[in-house]
Amino acid sequence: MGLDITVLVVDWDHLGRTPAAERLGMLEDAAYPDDDLDNRDDDGGADARVEHGWVRRPDTPWCALYEFFRTLGSFKPHFWAGQAWEDVRAFAEPDLRGALDAFLAGLFWPGPDDADTDPSTEEEPAVGLFPAEPDPWHPRLLVVRAPEQVPDLARAWALAAPLLEGLRAPYAVHADRPGRWIADFEEFAMLVRDWGEVVTEASRSGRGLIGLPI
Residue 165, classified by CB atoms within 10 Å of its CB into exposed (0-12), middle (13-18) or buried (19+), is: exposed
Q: What is the pTM of this model?
A: 0.87
Determine the pLDDT at residue 129: 76
Q: Which residues of the chain fall short of a pLDDT of 70?
A: 1, 35-49, 114-128, 131-138
Q: Are 149 and 125 in contact (CB under 8 A)?
A: yes
Q: Are 149 and 123 in contact (CB under 8 A)?
A: yes
Residue 200, classified by CB atoms within 10 Å of its CB into exposed (0-12), middle (13-18) or buried (19+), is: middle
Quick one: the chain helix, strand, coil %, rounded to 5? 45, 10, 40
> Where exactly are the structural domains of the chain?
6-212
How many CA atoms lie within 13 Å of 24's alpha carbon, on the beta-carbon side?
Answer: 14
Determine the pLDDT at residue 213: 93
Give the Cβ contact number of residue 202 at 10 Å: 26
Longest dimension (CA), the chain: 51
Determine the pLDDT at residue 138: 62
- Residue by residue, DSSP assigns 81-100 as HHHHHHHHGGGS-HHHHHHH
Spatial distance between the Cα atoms of 81 and 104, rounded to a whole number of angstroms: 9
Element (H, E) at 190: helix 185-205
Determine the pLDDT at residue 118: 43
What are the two backbone dihedrals, phi and then psi, of residue 56, each rounded to the nearest 5 degrees? -125, 135
Residues belonging to the chain: 214
Determine the pLDDT at residue 36: 52
How many CA atoms lie within 13 Å of 95's alpha carbon, on the beta-carbon side?
Answer: 11
Q: Are 76 and 207 in contact (CB under 8 A)?
A: no
Q: Are 108 and 34 in contact (CB under 8 A)?
A: no
